[in-house]
Structure 1
């Protein structure tokens, strides 16, 4: 997103901690190489470091990905750190006086901190406008009276009839901490200058209108940012299996393989992993499966079905599958001609990457906004098939085991030879075209970025005319 703003002339600074700075530094360098707009040799995007608070975490644990390798006891410490970075944040505002601050919804305190320094706070939403609207409906209308997890609950006030089972929703009694956290964040977001989404109007037009007109919220859709910046952050790493995977895909016919990945944090039990393996085998389709290190078991003998190793032998000419342990070049895999579908947990980044690639999805949500995103993919956009996940739980909690036969059925519905599969693929392809058009000059996201920066500049000029102290960074815009 910083690269998107920088491409339009803004000076951006990313304020983060040392470990996270190392993770993003290469992407920032690439963005700066593409946007040589700084004055006197300055960079379009800077990284400013703040210390990670001492909250009793092991060294190097500064984000949720690294936290997932440790016990649940550390999560409370980690969430405490979210509030303790307020002091260096406020010091940065006092020293630099930017024209705006973009902060994640989880940092709810930034709205008051920014206001104290006369800086408008923009909320970054790492999800869809659809999910944001569903969450707003849930937080304001959900009753806990029904204990039956299979009971259907309707989310009122939305453009479509959206129903979820109670077991697919956050329960304020089972999850009192996350519920209170969501309520607090939502209240802070409503007091902010507006919200910025990595999405585009054509993907969810009814919900953009709902967000503006019905909820009275200000929003700018500026994505898909990976397409807008031509970001190659999924470039091949030195890992042999990453490059071997693409060579293996080169041997398969177009649209014949399903890509299976559930993000960096989601955990699966050995029993679930076994059923995924069985489902991939039973489907008869080619597949690339990313088994995340956060799945909780490095002993594959606990779950690998008999014969599965032979199915995925990397050097066999007739192998149907390729398994990657840990990191994978997801964008490159999704854009490979042999991939015909994506089995995903419905995290928004993954959904948007599938949409951008014109790919249909097999949906398997687990927690957070993922059940909402599944509804958008399957019921509103009609570019997906659900495996039927029914239970909302944290990344660390156990889930219902879905059988291999069900998994295989969802895969074959998606990339099989049927009228339904053809319709889904055609709609997904159309969305891919829309995604690419949105970020081109004159497209909806391109125009939203311009409107946002114009509004911030108008606010700055108004402050100058009013005689306010505007010691700003020396740039056309500062974010």
Structure 2
């Protein structure tokens, strides 16, 4: 199935980009921005993903349809239940447990057949043949699709160039880093080959080099496919991390294009409000409340689409916000997903106690617009790269609370290198999802948060 913005004729001389994003909100959102930027420059764009992900960006699809941008949204069947995933589990934030993460990643290659079926479909004749394939680097199987089409393939990286280079250095110095960690038994060690003192712990090493042989097999397929790519796109800009771009380009030995911040795509406010998903709050009421606050007084608290805190940690965070003297907006994804027992009832009572001073968004909020409002002066973030770029673009200082994967290294870039944020003090990652008996329930106490808000 395809959803076309416009019949753009059969101009075979036009560029036609085939985009295949990773099914995760942090990767999907910037790829949608990229699609619109390419189309605005006159290129044809095919954006291929699954039904659930298309439904999430339906407002954008409808807007593209009325704008006549030459973008074709293609629906790819994803056989979740055939591979042991829950029905509708078509995005990383919908994976219910860590045990299903690798099956989800392995199942991505099953998108190849429906994509190739579309590429050989009769409706494609109205458009020129794809001239370039851009896919998330974790879609290693697209290398074969590009070879079949005999077109160049560029890989898209969602994280910072800083993180990408750190990952390369960790793999390069694996043996000495593991030996150093073994010798120290605890505490961080310095990562060699960088101009700034960057510390890595065991969790940084394991996030890059997992010991699970099945995961290692998957990542080896990703590495091989990345080596065969014709170039690399990074959602960042040279002025933010110049040394890292220069060194990463030398190490990769192929073109590396900084194309960010993609969040600065120019569009109307109501379109930005639906960037990623439809807002879970009445935006008119939200911004009426913001307009009443003093300039720079509001703290925005948001942890992205994948972080799931325990009920105990959510309560500690709430009590910390309640005890502070600052107005705040708190985006609580856990309520909408209903994956944390007891959170909905507690949040309802919490809202009554902070009415007037605090605004709670139960689900998805228009983050880029909130950060751009003059009343927002601080951002408590999980250090996802999209969130960091949006805060930097808006000139909002950050309080960093990383949870997993690239977020701890991103924190060091923000706090230690760029010096545009302060760390809340989390040192160890949380496990994927919630409900694991081994997960520490509280990593940041209300007392620490209260002292933090009050400076």
- Residue equivalent to 1:234: 273
Q: CA deviation at 1:201?
A: 1.7
Q: Distance between the aligned counterparts of 2:216 and 2:384, measured in 1?
A: 19
Q: Contact 1:190 / 1:217 at 8 angstroms: preserved in 2?
A: no
- Residue equivalent to 1:152: 188
Q: CA deviation at 1:56?
A: 3.7
Q: Distance between the aligned counterparts of 2:212 and 2:72, measured in 1?
A: 38
What are the superposed Cα offsets for residues 368-400 of structure 1, whole Å, 9 maximum, x if unpaired?
111121111111111111111111344225245
What are the superposed Cα offsets for residues 91-127 of structure 1, whole Å, 9 maximum, x if unpaired?
4456664111011111112123312331211111111
User: Does 2:113 correspond to 1:83?
Assistant: no
Q: Distance between the aligned counterparts of 2:48 and 2:417, measured in 1?
A: 37
Q: Distance between the aligned counterparts of 2:66 and 2:351, measured in 1?
A: 43
Alpha-carbon spacing, 1:215–1:235, altered in 2? closer, same or farther (3 Å): closer
Alpha-carbon spacing, 1:302–1:369, altered in 2? closer, same or farther (3 Å): same
What are the superposed Cα offsets for residues 310-355 of structure 1, whole Å, 9 maximum, x if unpaired?
4422xxxxx3211111111212211111110111111111111111
**Which secondary structure state, in structure 2, belongs to the residue aligned with residue 376 of structure 1?**
helix
Pairing 1:428-447 to 2, within 5 Å after superposition = none
User: Does 2:168 correspond to 1:136?
Assistant: yes
Q: Which of 180-189 and 231-240 deviates more?
A: 231-240
Q: CA deviation at 1:259?
A: 0.2
Q: CA deviation at 1:47?
A: 1.1
What are the superposed Cα offsets for residues 183-216 of structure 1, whole Å, 9 maximum, x if unpaired?
4423422221111122122111111111123442
User: Does 2:145 correspond to 1:113?
Assistant: yes
Alpha-carbon spacing, 1:202–1:123, altered in 2? closer, same or farther (3 Å): same
- Residue equivalent to 1:286: 327
Q: Contact 2:102 / 2:215 at 8 angstroms: preserved in 1?
A: no
User: Does 2:198 correspond to 1:162?
Assistant: yes
Alpha-carbon spacing, 1:177–1:350, altered in 2? closer, same or farther (3 Å): farther
Instruction: Structure 1 unaligned segments of length 5 or more: list them.
Output: 37-42, 314-318, 414-479
Higher relative contact order (CA 8 A, sep 6+): 1
User: Does 2:60 correspond to 1:27?
Assistant: yes
- Residue equivalent to 1:124: 156
TM-score normalized by the length of structure 2 = 0.79
- Residue equivalent to 1:49: 75
Q: Distance between the aligned counterparts of 1:88 and 1:359, measured in 2?
A: 43
Q: Distance between the aligned counterparts of 1:13 and 1:286, measured in 2?
A: 43
Q: Which of 2-11 and 385-394 deviates more?
A: 385-394
Q: What root-mean-square deviation, in Å, do the aligned CA atoms of Structure 1 and Structure 2 show?
A: 2.8
**Which secondary structure state, in structure 1, belongs to the residue aligned with residue 265 of structure 2?**
helix
| Aligned with 1:7 (options 34, 37, 40) | 40
| Aligned with 1:336 (options 356, 373, 383) | 373
Q: Which of 3-12 and 319-328 deviates more?
A: 319-328
Alpha-carbon spacing, 1:182–1:149, altered in 2? closer, same or farther (3 Å): farther
Q: Contact 2:97 / 2:432 at 8 angstroms: preserved in 1?
A: no
Pairs aligned (count): 398
Alpha-carbon spacing, 1:123–1:297, altered in 2? closer, same or farther (3 Å): same
Q: CA deviation at 1:61?
A: 2.3
- Residue equivalent to 1:248: 289
User: Does 2:343 correspond to 1:300?
Assistant: yes
- Residue equivalent to 1:258: 299
**Which secondary structure state, in structure 1, belongs to the residue aligned with residue 206 of structure 2?**
coil
What are the superposed Cα offsets for residues 198-249 of structure 1, whole Å, 9 maximum, x if unpaired?
2122111111111123442421112222313436242495755544332222
Alpha-carbon spacing, 1:131–1:183, altered in 2? closer, same or farther (3 Å): farther
Q: Which of 230-239 and 392-401 deviates more?
A: 230-239
Q: Distance between the aligned counterparts of 1:180 and 1:366, measured in 2?
A: 25
| Aligned with 1:66 (options 65, 78, 94) | 94
